[in-house]
Structure 1
Amino acid sequence: MAERKAFPLRIDPALWAAVERCATANLRSANAEIECLLREALKARGVKLAPPQPVKRGRPPKETDDG
């Protein structure tokens, strides 16, 4: 999986509250909502991006001892 970049963001409290409301409505975290909004904005400007890599969920496969 590709490593994600951490970035501190200074944002107006009213804007942050709106992002959190949207995130809640879309069943996302605020971080995931910001990523989605940024992708939509870039797409609207004609910037092409590769689709995001899905996060692997669940338990890792069991290791077997064949020895």
Structure 2
Amino acid sequence: MAPRKNYPLRLSPELYAALERWAADDMRSVNAQMEFLLTQAVRKAGRLKEAAAKEEEGESVS
């Protein structure tokens, strides 16, 4: 698996609090919740290749 890319991100306190509550509801960390939401948005926009998406989820790509 390729190493993950670190990226500094500035968020308003209100947005972070909302993400924190949402992550808790879904039993995820805020970081995992943001990655999940971004992945969904990128897939919906057709910007993520299916092979890359499966690699992200840890599935085997054939």
Q: Which bracket does the TM-score occupy, shorter chain normalised?
A: 0.7 to 0.9
Structure scoring higher RCO (CA < 8 A, sep ≥ 6) equals: 1
Rg larger in structure: 1
Question: What TM-score does the superposition give when structure 1 sets the normalisation length?
Answer: 0.70
Corresponding residue of 2:17: 17
Q: Runs (4+) of structure 1 moved beyond 6 Å? A: none
The two structures, once aligned, show a CA RMSD in angstroms of 1.3
Q: Percentage identity across aligned positions? A: 44
Question: What TM-score does the superposition give when structure 2 sets the normalisation length?
Answer: 0.75
Aligned pair count reads 54
CA distance, structure 1, for counterparts of residue 17 and residue 41 of structure 2: 19
Higher helix share: 2
Residues 1-67 of structure 1 mapped to structure 2, 5 A cutoff: 1-49=1-49, 50-51=52-53, 52-54=56-58
